[in-house]
Structures are given as C-alpha cells and as structure tokens.
Chain A
Amino acid sequence: MKTVEESARTEPGLPPELALRMYRQMVRIRLFEERVNELYTRALMPGLAHLYSGEEAVAVGICEALQTADYVTSTHRGHGHCLAKGATPDRMFAELLGKEAGYCRGKGGSMHIADPTTGNLGANAIVGGSAGIATGAALTAKRLKTGQVSVCFFGEGALGQGLLYEVMNLASLYKLPVIYACENNLYTEYTHFTETTAGDILARGTAFGLHAEKVDGQDVRAVYAAAQELVNRARQGGGPALLLCDTYRYTGHHVGDINREYYRSKQEEQEWRTKRDPIQLMGEWLTGQKIADTTALQRTEEIVRQEMKAAVEFAIAAPYPSVEEVDQDVYA
C-alpha cells in the first residue's frame, strides 16, 4: 500500500508534497486531540484540556507558510499551533501529563507548551496575553535584521482585550513583521461572539493601518495562500497584518463542557462537522485533483494513529520530574 506522499502527483500552484503534508498535519492534530480527550476522560490527564478539533486548517495553513526560525505565540487552545509549528507528539503528551520529558519538564502543561527549537514562544493561558510577546519578537527580528516573522494566534475572545490594540498600534508605527491571526471559532467560551464583539473585526486592524483580510478558516489551501502572502509581505518589510480566519470549535470550550445546548445547537455542530470539516474538504480536493486516492488518505490516517498511540505510550511510561525540581528554573 502506498502512503499519501508516495502517491503524490505534480499540481501547479500548490506543490503536491505540500498539499499532502498539510493534510497529514491536520490529521495529526485531529488524532492528537482525540487522544487528549481520551486521556482526559480516563482521568489520566490532570488539569484542563481545550481541544483544537475543527480548527486545524488555521494552524496548519499558517505554519506551513512559516520557517522553523519564525516565531509563533499560542493560546490556551494551543495543541494545534504547537504541532503545526513542528513540536513532536511524544513530548507534547508528556507535557500534558506533567512528565519530565515534556517540552516544559511538566511545569507548563497543556496551556503553556513552549519550544525554542521550533520558534514556539509559548502557549498562553491569559486571553490575548501573548500579543505583546509576539510583537516584541517581531521587534527583535526587525532590529537584528534576522528576516524572521512572528505570528500571534488568538481567538476572537481576545478581541475584547486592550493589549491587542496597543500592540497593533506599536507594530504599525514600527512596521514590524508580525501577523495577528484571529481564529474566530464563533464562541467566546460559552457566548456567541456577536454578543461580545461590536462593529467590524477587520476594521479594528485597518484602523491602525494594518493590512487586514478574512479567509475561510476551514479551507487549508486558502489559509495557506493568504498566510504566505502576508508572511512574505512582512518578511520584506511590508509591516503587520491582521488575518481573520472563520472557523469552528467542534467540542466544548474544554473537555468538560459537554452540555452545550444552551449556547449552540447540536444541529449547528453537525453541519460544521459534515459540511465544513477542514480535513474532509482537503481530502476531497486531494482526491479530486488525483494527488491521492482514498486508500492513501486512509493509510495516512493509520500511520498517524500509530504515531499518536506510540506517543501516548511514551508519555504514560515517562517519569514525573523529581520533587526537588519544584523550585528550579524560577530564575535563569
């Protein structure tokens, strides 16, 4: 049986290897989150788990337009960003379980995965809290002329935070290579975003002189195309941008948010899952373009499933940090 990569064919525009890679990255995020859900519901994972399922095309489309040295900041719903930027699932699961082998030696957990080797400045559990950090990374890139670009991922809930507008103003004044990537998954926790967000979202960027545009966040090719343009623009000194990605969170605000009928209907969820699923849409495109057939896509899923299984086993078997570590790394 051929893997997706092996059955690749040439397609003008989007290189097939890249298209297949994006598909696989989305599958990795989806299956990673399935295992998180399972670990959580089996009480093997402490704390909180905010799943990214449904939003995969945003992280993947944007991160595929970045280089390893480029920076991202992430959110409490950050597993997708970390994986898309290059983190490996074994060390991520280890972090989620509080193990020493985790990216943060177990000290950060699900909401704080950071990894300098992949340019991940850290997931952040303060809504909008990383906007300053992403902007500062862009300032460094500009000052030291490194050519790096910085992406600040945030949910539409962060549109209510003043910090975001302070740093958009700074980024525009100094023409910094930063992209503010807003993932509008429609719900600010348990409240529809229209109840919390007045006016026009893109206008909030253009008011500060940012280039602002909206993209279908379920279409990974569209996200990638938009991101690539904005990343290149930023890298060449064109300044900051706001990229608004319309998307949907399949599950609750966190794993424990099961009864959601008071804020959204099962029918709405079902419609997104069946008609707007980013993995399904990309799969259909890949088969339609004859870049891959259904068997190859299934094979990809199977390989990823094995990868996640092994990663979970690694994490479960990994030791906790020794208790002496509790007060280490408070100061550098």
Chain B
Amino acid sequence: MPLPIRRLKRLIKTFMPETVTAQREMTFAQAIREALAEEMRRDPRVCIFGEDVAEAGTPFKVLSGLVEEFGADRVLDTPISEAGFTGMGVGAAMTGLRPVVDIMFGDFLTLTMDQLVNQAAKVHYMSGGTWKVPMVLRTTLGATRRSAAQHSQSLHAWLCHVPGLKVAMPSTPYDAKGLLKTAIRDDNPVIFLEDKMMYKQKGLVPAEEYTIPFGVADVKREGEDVTLVATSSMVEVALGAAKLLGGIGVSAEVIDPRTLWPLDEKALVASAKKTSRAIVIDEGYRRYGVTGEIASVIAEGAFFNLEAPVKRMGAMHVPIPFSPPLEDQTVPTDQSVFEEARKLCGK
C-alpha cells in the first residue's frame, strides 16, 4: 500500500521543515516571542514573570510587544529578586498558573538554585505525585559577547544533574519555537536555555501550528565519517567545522539532541555507530560537564563500532575573561572542532 498523502506530508514536515509551504523567515528571538504569544493566546493560565519583561521586553528585546497584547497581569515585571520570583513561579505553577519565568542571564541561575533544585524539581516526587510544577524557566547561555565572567557562563550541566527537571536547548528558530511550545505545555519544570548570541540568527519557521517533542534529536547535517554531537550555540560551530571537513574529504554528521533531558540516547548512539567516530561539543565547562555524559552514552552504546575514543569539547576551565583575544580562546570554534575531527579521522 502506498504511503497515504497525509502521512507523507507529515514525514516531510518532520524531516524537512523548510519544504513546508507558508514558511516565514524570522529571527530566533521572534520565534521565541511567537511561541509565547501563541501559547498565551491558547491558554489564559500562561504568564511571564521576570526583570524588565514588560515594556522593556528584556534587554534582548525578545519579549517586545507581549505586554501590549496580554497586559501587565500576565507579563509581570518583577524586582531584581531571582530567587523570590522563581519561588513565586513554583507556587503559582502548583496552584493553577503556567508561569514562564525569565532569568535574564544564565549566570543568575545561581541565585535561583534552591527554588529550582530543592523546590521545583522535588515537589512532584516528594508529594507522592500529587502536586505538579508546570513552570518554564527561560534563561540564556553562551560566551563571546564580551560580557566577562558573570554574564557569559553556560551552567546547564548543573540542571541536567537534577532529577525532576527537564532541560531544553534549541539551536534554530524552528526548534526554539516548537520546543518552547512543548515546554509550556509540559507539566514539569523545564529549564529552557537560549544562546544570547543567537537571538538575531534567522531561520525558516512554518506559519502553521507545530510543536517539537522532547527527547528527539535532530540530524542537522548528514555525514558518514564522524559524528559531531552539538548543543545550542555549538550547532553552528559544528556545521562550520563540517563544511571545513568537507574540504579535506571528511564527511561529518551533525546531530543536535535538542533536549539534554530527556536525552535521545538512541539517536546519538545510532549516529556514532554509523560513522564510528564521535566528538561531543557543548559550551558548558568540559570538566564534569554535559559532554562527559553524552560521550559516556556513546562509548557504552557504540563501543564495538567505534574506531577511536569519543572526544569532548567544551569551555576551558577558566572564568570567562573579558579581553576579546582571551575570551575567544575559551570556547570551541569552527576551526578548533575541525582540527579535532581531522585528528580523530587520521587526516
């Protein structure tokens, strides 16, 4: 029996979103805003709290226009009290709202840790499954914005370590919109990390409604010789490296897990099995980081198909320096990933 047209269309949409009709080009920031606006229209319980989220629309202007449409009750400017308004988000989520808490810089996650780790993550389990915390915490990650050590960190590994939290890290406007809509509809606390260098990056986003399920990796580029597992900001870097590798005859596959928890272990292992080599690239600190976990998943799952040890690339183990030539040393680049992959492939 031939594939029904509808199923065929769905397959095309899943694997090649750019081929769907009525695509719009928009920035990552616009995709985030559109996801929020759609979900706020769809569900009156969805609301936003954070510093300068209303008229200011955040320093990155991601939320511009939302307060005008939804009012100050639903787009609530808070004082600079990250722990306080995150905790308020937990309580609001438990009792019937679906808050999207905005933490301006990922570095400020440190201020919210008790509320995330001891409260949000544990309420459902500790209460024997009776209370739920349908809250999203959006924040940023990423260096190279010349913002120095307290505005440049990528601390998502801390959150992946905590049972009860989900962690999403989109790398394109398409993924950002679809994953954020899923996050808002999820009944668990979801930490949603956005690379602040990516807000102006453009991509195609369908006009029609869609969501992206958690725990489904996306192959951003198919290849045969080496798998580059990359997250968030590192997907662009991996794609740049893949292009350079193409120039020396190495075909690189780039795969983005999109959510770090749940993690699509199967897809990562399958890609590594196919190419027999893998490098994991993430902007968090390499030491005790996300790359270690994913490398271990691949090493355990694809051991007998691997031609080389799984390599890991992440931020250097230093506070992010201000001085541009120093800062540029700290995170993986197209060139450094290219070099690592070349060595790994014996080229």
Task: Give the residue name and chain of the A residue nearest to B79 (CB).
Answer: A169
Docked complex Cα distance between A103 and B47 (Å): 30
Q: Name B135's closest neighbour in chain A (CB-CB).
A: A136
Which of A33-41, A77-85, A311-319, A324-332 makes up part of the contact surface? Answer: A324-332
Q: Which positions 197-253 of chain B face chain A at CB distance < 8 Å?
A: none
| A108, A150, A166 — most chain B CB neighbours (10 Å) | A166
- Are B129 and A328 in contact (CB-based, < 8 A)? yes
Assembled-state Cα–Cα distance A137/B94 (Å): 7
Residues in B whose Cβ lies below 8 Å from that of A133: 87, 90-91, 94, 119
Chain A residue at smallest Cβ distance from B132:
A332
Q: Which residues of A contact B130 (CB under 8 A)?
A: 103-104, 114-116
B76: nearest chain-A partner, CB-CB: A174
Measured CA separation A331–B166 after assembly (Å): 9
Tell me the number of A-to-B contacts counted with CB atoms below 8 Å.
Answer: 152
Asked if B114 and A332 make an inter-chain contact with CB atoms under 8 angstroms apart, the answer reads: no
Looking at the complex, which one of A73, A124, A170, A329 makes contact with B81 (CB distance below 8 Å)? Answer: A170
In the complex, per-residue mask of A129-153: 1 if CB is within 8 Å of any chain B CB, else 0 = 1111111111111011000001000
> B84 on the interface (CB 8 Å rule)?
yes
Say yes or no: A114 contacts B127, CB within 8 Å.
yes
Interface size on A (CB < 8 Å)?
A: 46
B128 touches A103 (CB 8 A): yes
Q: A331: which B residues are within 8 A, CB to CB? A: 124, 164, 166, 188
Beta-carbon contact of B90 and A132 below 8 Å: yes
In the complex, what's the smallest C-beta–C-beta distance from A78 to chain B, in angstroms? 12
Whether B73 is near chain A, meaning CB under 8 Å from some CB there, is: yes
A136 proximity list for chain B (CB < 8 A):
87-95, 97, 99
Question: CA separation between A115 and B129, bound complex, in Å?
Answer: 10
Let me know if A112 and B126 touch, CB within 8 A.
Answer: yes
Q: Decide: B73 and A126 in contact? CB cutoff 8 A.
A: no
Quick one: closest B residue to A100, CB to CB? B128
B85 at the A interface (CB under 8 A):
yes
| Distance between Cα atoms of A138 and B88 in the complex (Å) | 9
Which A276-330 residues have C-beta < 8 A from chain B? Answer: 328-330
Dominant secondary structure at the A interface:
mixed
Q: Tell me the minimal C-beta distance from A183 to chain B in angstroms.
A: 20
Would you call B163 an interface residue if the criterion is a C-beta within 8 Å of the partner chain's C-beta atoms? yes
Given A133-B119, A332-B124, does the pair A139, B92 have CB atoms closer than 8 Å? Answer: yes
| B86 interface residue (CB < 8 Å to A) | yes
Whether the pair A132, B79 counts as a contact (CB closer than 8 A) is no
Other-chain contact of B118, A115, A129, A131, A330 (Cβ < 8 Å)? A129
Question: Closest chain B residue to A112 by CB distance?
Answer: B126
CB distance from A233 to the nearest CB of B (A): 20
Report whether B125 and A107 are in contact in the complex, using a CB–CB cutoff of 8 Å: yes
> Cβ of B73 and Cβ of A143 under 8 Å apart?
yes
Q: Chain B residues near A112: list those with CB within 8 A.
A: 126-127
**What residues of A have a CB within 8 angstroms of the CB of B96 in the complex?**
140, 144
Contacting B at CB under 8 A, from A76-111, are: 102-108
Per the 8 Å Cβ criterion, residues 203-246 of A in contact with B are none
Listed residue (B99, B118, B129) with the most chain A CB atoms within 10 angstroms of its CB? B129
The closest CB in chain A to the CB of B186 belongs to A332
Q: Within the assembled complex, what's the spacing in Å between the Cα atoms of A33 and B92?
A: 32
A126 touches B118 (CB 8 A): yes
Cβ distance A204 to chain B, nearest Cβ, rounded Å: 15
Contacting pair A104 B97 (CB below 8 A):
no
Do A105 and B129 touch across chains, with their CB atoms under 8 A apart?
Answer: yes
Query: Is B187 engaged at the interface, CB distance under 8 Å to the other chain?
Result: yes
Chain A residue with the shortest CB-CB distance to B92? A136
- Would B132 and A167 count as touching, CB distance under 8 A? no
8 Å CB interface, B76-119 against A: 76, 78-79, 81, 83-97, 99, 114-115, 118-119
Q: Could you name 30 residue pairs across A and B whose Cβ atoms are closer than 8 Å?
A: A105-B128, A107-B126, A114-B130, A116-B127, A116-B130, A122-B123, A122-B127, A126-B119, A131-B87, A132-B90, A132-B119, A134-B91, A135-B84, A136-B87, A136-B89, A137-B94, A139-B88, A140-B91, A140-B96, A163-B84, A163-B87, A166-B83, A166-B84, A170-B88, A329-B128, A331-B164, A331-B166, A332-B129, A332-B134, A332-B187
> B residues bordering A, Cβ < 8 Å?
47, 73, 76, 78-79, 81, 83-97, 99, 114-115, 118-119, 123-134, 163-164, 166, 187-188
Query: Lowest 10 CB-CB distances: which A-B pairs, in order?
Result: A132-B87, A136-B91, A166-B84, A105-B128, A104-B128, A133-B91, A329-B129, A136-B92, A166-B81, A114-B127
